[in-house]
Amino acid sequence: MPVRRATPLYAVAVALVLAVTAPTTAAADSSALREVLFVGNNWDGTADVIESTGDFARIGRIDVVPDKAERMAEINADPIRWIYFMAIRGGVGEGHDQFVDDMYSTPDGASVVVSRPSFADVVSLDLTTGRINWRFPVSGYRSDHMAVSPDGTRVAVSASTSNTVHVLDIATGEQVGSFKTGDKPHENVFSRDGRYIWNMSIGDVNTALDATWLDWTKGDRRITVVDAATFKQVKVIDMRERLDAIGLKDYSDAVRPAAFSPDESKLYFQVSFFNGFLEYDVAADRITRTKTLPKNPATSDDRTTWVNDSRHHGITMKPDGGKLCVAGTMDDYATVVDRTTLEQGPLVTASKPYWATVSGDGESCVVSESGADQVTAIDFATGEKTVSVPVGDHPQRVRLGHVEAGWSGTHG
């Protein structure tokens, strides 16, 4: 079924930007809430809560695995689950357990919902007590990226090994729907009006079959668009065809992080192994521009050494649509790019930057430096670094959200 052009379909930004609006559009009294950034420390099993603007100072820390002993007992008692747990540790975890991937606060700022890859679940944590409100085990053996609906009432989570996205009621953890995807669903994005969900599947990024001619072994990689009410498929976009059409046959078609323009007409996305990003015209259904960013001479040319097939992983857009911010993961820098000219600004040195999001005031790009255990803010106007703030072990996802105005707790 074709997408109807009269209805805005595409997201104003990646799910990380939707997190800015979701809590404020809900019924909660915004005067009783404090805007913050949640930083997921993947290997720690914690999330740091920091100021959303200014000096980005740390406010508190959350233990996202308060039930670790119970979960490990279950895993150790089940040989199949134990095999997958160890495979996650040895593969995508780079020798570490993955205890937090993604997180969003509830509209009332009382809880935070977290996906935990190694435990193959999603939990809601009470920000006052640190206790678990609810837990949802995903299908298969690993949970991954999430997205929250614009009204803040639902959360979509990728279940990597079952090629499924679950959509949950954020207050109760009850599943309200699910849909099938390509291989290894990754990023999820709700459309601005909440009517559609986009999912990007990235295929098998943990194999060593990384040579260009072996790209076909990576699996079924596609964008799946579904109706967010019925969860029926609306559209499938295979970037292989669009890449081939402009002569980029050697490029991977695994769409990684992405950012949508404010008018919902353009999609800017990264693909596996590529130092740069591409621009996709939604209405014309074609790739219109390619931006290649500098390579770091110190970065190995051996693609098997790049983490999970990433070269660059993390892209976000300034709310007015004028600038993009890109995390050059394996090249150890982040940079601001002018959206009109595609000219990049200064290359800001960063240690394995793994994500990029927008500050609460929209004036800065915030990247997680997974190699240095810190987050760094870059001014959109100048492209220069303004501040770095220490966080926990291996920060990845950074999401805007809210806590209750007086919150200053540390659970973990």
Confidence grade of residue 23 (pLDDT, cut at 50, 70, 90): very low
Q: How far is CA 31 from the centre of its chain?
A: 28
d(CA 71, CA 192): 36
Confidence grade of residue 411 (pLDDT, cut at 50, 70, 90): low
The average confidence (pLDDT) of the chain is 91
d(CA 231, CA 225): 9
Residues in contact with 70: Cβ distance below 8 Å, sequence separation at least 6, in sequence order: none
Full-model pTM? 0.90
pLDDT digit string, tens, across residues 35-70: 999 999 999 999 999 999 999 999 999 999 999 999
For tokens 């986009």, what's the residue? 198
> Which pair of structure tokens corresponds to residue 149?
């609906």
pLDDT digit string, tens, across residues 364-404: 999 999 999 999 999 999 999 999 999 999 999 999 999 99
Strand order in the sheet with 58-63: 58-63, 46-51, 33-41, 395-404
Q: What is the pLDDT of residue 80?
A: 95
Q: What is the pLDDT of residue 10?
A: 32
d(CA 68, CA 224): 34
Q: How far is CA 27 from the centre of its chain?
A: 26
d(CA 373, CA 199): 29
- Domain architecture of the chain: domains with CATH: 15-404 (2.130.10.10)
Element counts in the chain: helices (H) and strands (E): 4, 28
For tokens 């074709």, what's the residue? 2
Mean pLDDT calculated for residue range 232-237: 97
Count of beta carbons in the 10 Å neighbourhood of residue 121: 20
pLDDT digit string, tens, across residues 151-174: 999 999 999 999 999 999 999 999
- Confidence check: pLDDT of 356 > 80: yes
Concatenate the DSSP letters of all residues of 275-339 into one string. Answer: SEEEEEETTTTEEEEEEEPPPPTTS-S-GGGSGGG-SS--EEE-TTSSEEEEEEGGGTEEEEEET
Confidence grade of residue 30 (pLDDT, cut at 50, 70, 90): low
pLDDT digit string, tens, across residues 302-313: 999 998 999 999
Mean pLDDT calculated for residue range 324-342: 98
Of 104, 141, 96, 94, give the one whose Cα is nearest residue 16: 104
- Confidence check: pLDDT of 12 > 50: no
Of 329, 220, 312, 215, give the one whose Cα is nearest residue 270: 312
Mean pLDDT calculated for residue range 3-28: 36
pLDDT digit string, tens, across residues 69-120: 999 999 999 999 999 999 999 888 889 999 999 999 999 999 999 999 999 9
Of all residues in the chain, what percent carry a pLDDT higher than 90?
88
